Chains A and B, each alone.
Chain A
Amino acid sequence: MDGSPTDSRDLRSRLLEAGNAVFGEVGYTGATVDDLIARASTSRATFYRYFHNKDDLFDELSRACFRDMRAIVDDLARMRAGEVDTAEIEQVLSQYRDLHARHAGVFRAWWERVARLDPEVPAEEGHVFNRLVESLTRFVSDARVESLVAPEVQAALLYLLVEGSYAAVTSRWSRIDPDALAPTLARMVHRTYLGGDVPRRASRLRLA
């Protein structure tokens, strides 16, 4: 029955979806292949037709996550410090939130630093992150806020701030409204680097 291409795509993506959900709920270490096939309502034989093991399925999920992340990084790369308003920063943050929601299992495993990845995946990850940090570094440098902290370190901190805040807010024990995150964070970032939307100031900033 699952001989036709459509069916095999369905089964495969069903297993991937199940993986993402289960890794997100119980963590990567806690999840077993049995959990995955139970969630996907399929059999062990089917699982092993598409994946070697749990790691293999996770690699696939990671690749999909980094593909989506690249799209956000592309948007970020197009931003210019002098022209960005708070709404645009909020927009990028919301995209990032969607990414988190869509790839909950990958983010949780990554956050818990337990996943063993195919070497190809970290390479892809490294590439996406380098571009991300490059874009943010340019944003920080263009804003010219005086600081002892080098722009690339500030850029990495910005990323960690966003990633950490999303992880904290979406964690099981958080009581923070996830919808409140993007507006407040966007205003904080804009005010720090670009002085805030109102009153409009020159893009070159003075930091007393």
Chain B
Amino acid sequence: MVDEVRTTATRPAPRRPPRRAGERGRSARNHEDRWTDIVERAGAIFYRKGYEATSLQDIADSVGMLKGSIYYYIKTKEDLLYELVSRAQDMFEATLEEDGETARSPAPVRLRAFIGRWMALTSREREWGLVAEREFMRLSRRRLRRVIERRDELSGYVKDIIRQGIDEGAFDPTTDESVGAAAIFELMKTSHLWHRPSGPLSMAELGDWYATFAIRGLGGPRWHDRGPG
């Protein structure tokens, strides 16, 4: 039943249509491009300076527009953070999609595949992943609640895999699946804090170790991880 839910994940619709969405044709497209440009540049500056230390002026300078013009797109700096965190969540939610074969596989196979997908994305989207993870708690209460709900959905997916593994006899039934899932996410999320792309270890290799750690760690007496060491 878990599989059915997970294979129907779709690309989320843009959650924040830019103001004046009624405009059509080139100007609307330009408008959207401009908005994306602002969000991306804000992400780069938040990454470098941190959210608190960044001013709207910094962002305006980086986009090459007047600070006043930014208010056409947003009301506050927090709007930008929310957009950025939400876009990062859209990206990471896409890692819940499984192909049919994986979806029908035993829990350890699904877990390794998920960690692989997540780490591949982390490696591609290093900056956004880090900014979203580091700064999301600065959002206002209402937005924070929405972000947390979406985080819970992500960890719900891993909890489902752990439960499946327990049912299959692969994982220790005394495991608290919330803790198991939290541990797996914490491992994955530490990566962009210290991993250097130029270093000897690739994100994929690191992800493989996380998977081995998780599967061995959760593994009951009847299961032996068949993954590559």
Chain A residues near B (Cβ < 8 Å): 29, 112-114, 145-150, 153-154, 156-157, 160-161, 164-165, 168-169, 171, 173, 175-177, 180-181, 183-185, 187-189, 191-192, 196, 198-199, 207-208
Contact = CB atoms under 8 A, between A and B. Distances in A.
Interface in B204-219: 205-206, 208-209, 212-214, 216-219
Contacts of A188: 175, 180, 183, 213-214, 217-218
B224 interface: yes
B1 interface: no
A191 B216 contact: yes
Contact of B144 (A173, A177, A187, A207): A173
B217 A207 contact: no
B46 to A, nearest CB: 13
B182 interface: yes
Contacts of B190: 157, 160-161, 164
B186 interface: yes
28 contacts: A29-B52, A145-B216, A147-B229, A148-B205, A149-B206, A150-B201, A153-B201, A157-B187, A161-B187, A161-B190, A164-B187, A164-B189, A164-B190, A165-B179, A165-B186, A169-B179, A175-B152, A175-B178, A181-B176, A183-B174, A183-B176, A184-B176, A188-B213, A192-B212, A192-B217, A207-B212, A207-B229, A208-B224
A176 B201 CA distance: 32
B179 A185 contact: yes
Contact of B217 (A181, A191, A208): A191
A97 B147 CA distance: 26
Given A156-B194, A168-B186, A184 B180 contact: yes
A187 B174 contact: yes
Q: Which of A114, A150, A154, A181 counts the most B-chain CB atoms under 10 A from its CB?
A: A181
A146 B216 CA distance: 12
Contacts, number: 106
A185 B229 CA distance: 21
Contacts of A161: 183, 186-187, 190
B205 A149 contact: yes
